[in-house]
């Protein structure tokens, strides 16, 4: 791997206007990273990456590089882009365990983080570096959020998140696992106990329903639930996955690794919203992709579909009357998910929009003063690197708030 990384690094043109950096949502200093690596300063490169993005090691594995850094590489015009994700992974993986995170002396001000997903981890690290006393409240037993419980092991090994958790502990970020805020401890309790500011980064864990007959049957499951613990499911040998986004592809590839022999991914559209490379891997793994079928209902024998009729622009204009049963042992619905509402219902003045997403102002502050939000619970399901990018800006605003300073306009 090291030889490959060096070969890739040597291909970098060190552009004066690096489009690769422009294409990265968190503005990773890619040319500097590569230059430091080639000059045997891998530790300095790793620190630079971590300071810019606390989840660099995860993003290097799961980012959509084709549409971001690598997709903007100038070498795309003549040959193939530099494998930037591979280089970043090599550096970040080498650096993480020895990383020394510089934190200011404690200022005695407490901040609470609800949710240990990408947004929550980013906020916690950024505030701790500024000297705040940070406590993370997490509903599950370990940190990671969607990275741990929604991304398969073969894409993001859980050991990486465990190593990151040790770093959080080293810099004295407190973690309260297995705590649901709302039913037991409330946000009002937190303010009462001295937290000056509270961040909500609870993600989107409520699966979206199809709204058709059969969703309550015993052979029907939701993608977000399945990915949390695939080992607890007995799907049988024939599985149909409804939906063709990234989550559906993750479900399919995971199920195949758990001995599903016949797997079909079905979408009502003529195209998928998943990454092209992930679709290719799914097909290599053995999944069959089926387009243009609308599901009507689910029976114990499997889902029933109708064929869609499309116009020249690919819009659905009708359906054929004939219904077709696609026999299966299990059906997994993977069409989207939304936020839980327990914090909104248990907290006065905290409001959500019609989709259940937290309402925030231009500074990331919710409708209740002192409570901030970012990540999927504010913007809907997005990528990890997008959550990191916006959360860094919100952390800055929280710092200003807790220092009793005026907010600053956040860059777009």
pLDDT digits (tens, 9 = 90+) for 62-99: 999 999 999 999 999 888 999 999 999 999 999 999 99
Let me know if 161 is exposed, middle or buried by CB neighbors in 10 A (0-12, 13-18, 19+). Answer: buried
90 and 121 share one domain: no
Query: How far apart (Å, rounded) are the C-alpha atoms in residues 19 and 399?
Result: 31
241 and 275 share one domain: yes
pLDDT at 202: 94
CB 266 within 8 A of CB 295: yes
Query: How far apart (Å, rounded) are the C-alpha atoms in residues 265 and 247?
Result: 11
CB 174 within 8 A of CB 134: yes
87 and 136 share one domain: no
- Rounded to the nearest 10 degrees, what angle do helices 84-95 and 2-10 cross at? 130
Q: What is the pLDDT of residues 382-398, one digit of tens each?
A: 999 999 999 999 999 99
243 and 327 share one domain: yes
CB 161 within 8 A of CB 142: yes
Question: Final residue of a domain: which of 71, 98, 125?
Answer: 98
Query: How far apart (Å, rounded) are the C-alpha atoms in residues 37 and 40?
Result: 5
327 and 250 share one domain: yes
Query: How far apart (Å, rounded) are the C-alpha atoms in residues 82 and 24?
Result: 14
Beta bridge pairs of residue 304: 297, 325
- For residue 412, being part of any structural domain is answered with no
120 and 199 share one domain: yes
What CATH number corresponds to the domain at position 393? 3.50.50.60
Query: How far apart (Å, rounded) are the C-alpha atoms in residues 104 and 287?
Result: 51
Domain coverage including residue 269: 208-336
Using alpha carbons, list the distances in angstroms from residue 177 to 94, 139, 165, 204, 283.
28, 6, 12, 18, 38
- For residue 47, being part of any structural domain is answered with yes
- For residue 286, being part of any structural domain is answered with yes
End-to-end alpha carbon distance in the chain: 37
Contacts of 242 by beta carbon, 8 Å cutoff, 6+ apart: 210, 248, 266, 267, 295, 303, 331, 332, 333, 334, 335
Q: Which residues of the chain have pLDDT under 70?
A: 1-3, 412
Question: Final residue of a domain: which of 318, 336, 354?
Answer: 336
Q: Provide the 3-class DSSP secondary structure of residue 219.
A: coil
Beta bridge pairs of residue 289: 265
CB 60 within 8 A of CB 92: yes
172 and 133 share one domain: yes
CB 78 within 8 A of CB 108: no
DSSP notation for 241-261: EE--SHHHHHHHHHHHHTT--
240 and 332 share one domain: yes
For the chain, what is the domain count? 3
- For residue 408, being part of any structural domain is answered with no
The pTM (predicted TM-score) of the whole model is 0.95
CA 70 to chain centre: 19
In the structure encoding, which two tokens stand for residue 139, read together? 């509903």
pLDDT at 15: 95
Phi, psi dihedral angles at 284 (to 5 degrees): -60, -40
- For residue 407, being part of any structural domain is answered with no
90 and 171 share one domain: no
In the structure encoding, which two tokens stand for residue 284, read together? 């290599």
Q: How many CA atoms lie within 13 A of 97 on its CB side?
A: 6
- For residue 318, being part of any structural domain is answered with yes
Question: Final residue of a domain: which of 67, 98, 129?
Answer: 98
- For residue 410, being part of any structural domain is answered with no
Using alpha carbons, list the distances in angstroms from residue 403 to 13, 105, 132, 406.
43, 15, 11, 9
144 and 37 share one domain: no
- For residue 103, being part of any structural domain is answered with no
Phi, psi dihedral angles at 204 (to 5 degrees): -125, 105
pLDDT at 361: 95
pLDDT at 412: 67
201 and 214 share one domain: no
pLDDT at 3: 56
CB 333 within 8 A of CB 220: yes
200 and 116 share one domain: yes
Q: What 8-state DSSP symbol labels residue 327?
A: -
What CATH number corresponds to the domain at position 8? 1.10.1060.10
């Amino acid at each position: 791997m090291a030889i490959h990384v060096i070969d890739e690094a040597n291909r970098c043109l060190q552009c004066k206007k690096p489009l690769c950096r422009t294409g990265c949502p968190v503005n990773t200093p890619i040319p500097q990273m590569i230059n430091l690596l080639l000059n045997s300063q891998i530790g300095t490169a790793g620190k630079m990456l971590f300071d810019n993005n606390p989840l660099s090691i995860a993003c290097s594995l799961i980012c959509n590089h084709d549409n971001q850094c690598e997709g903007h590489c100038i070498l795309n015009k003549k040959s193939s882009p530099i494998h930037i994700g591979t280089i970043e992974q090599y550096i970040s993986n080498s650096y993480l365990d020895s990383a020394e995170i510089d934190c200011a002396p404690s200022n005695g001000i407490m901040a609470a983080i609800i949710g240990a997903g990408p947004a929550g981890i980013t906020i916690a690290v950024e505030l701790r570096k500024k000297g705040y006393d940070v406590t993370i409240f997490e509903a599950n037993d370990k940190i990671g959020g969607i990275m741990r419980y929604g991304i398969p092991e073969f894409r993001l090994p859980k050991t990486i998140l465990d190593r990151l958790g040790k770093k959080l502990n080293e810099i004295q970020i407190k973690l309260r696992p297995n705590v649901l805020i709302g039913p037991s401890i409330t946000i009002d309790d937190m303010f009462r106990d001295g937290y000056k500011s509270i961040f909500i980064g609870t993600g989107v864990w409520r699966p979206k329903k199809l709204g058709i007959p059969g969703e309550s049957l015993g052979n029907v499951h939701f993608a977000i639930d399945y990915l949390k613990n695939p080992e607890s499911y007995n799907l049988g040998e024939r599985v149909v996955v409804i939906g063709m986004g990234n989550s559906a592809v993750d479900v399919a590839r995971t199920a195949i690794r758990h001995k599903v022999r016949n797997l079909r991914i079905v979408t009502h559209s003529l195209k998928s919203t998943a990454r092209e490379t992930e679709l290719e891997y799914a097909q290599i793994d053995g999944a069959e992709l089926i387009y243009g079928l609308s599901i009507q209902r689910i029976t114990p024998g499997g889902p029933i579909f109708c064929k869609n009729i499309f116009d020249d622009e690919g819009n659905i204009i009708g359906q054929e009357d004939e219904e077709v049963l696609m026999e299966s042992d299990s059906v997994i619905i993977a069409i989207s998910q939304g936020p839980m509402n327990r914090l909104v219902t248990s907290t006065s003045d905290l409001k959500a929009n019609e989709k259940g997403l937290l309402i925030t102002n231009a500074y990331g502050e919710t409708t209740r003063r002192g409570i901030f939000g970012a990540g999927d619970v504010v913007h809907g399901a997005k990528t990890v690197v997008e959550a990191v990018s916006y959360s860094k800006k919100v952390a800055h605003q929280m710092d200003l708030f807790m220092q009793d300073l005026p907010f600053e306009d956040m860059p777009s």
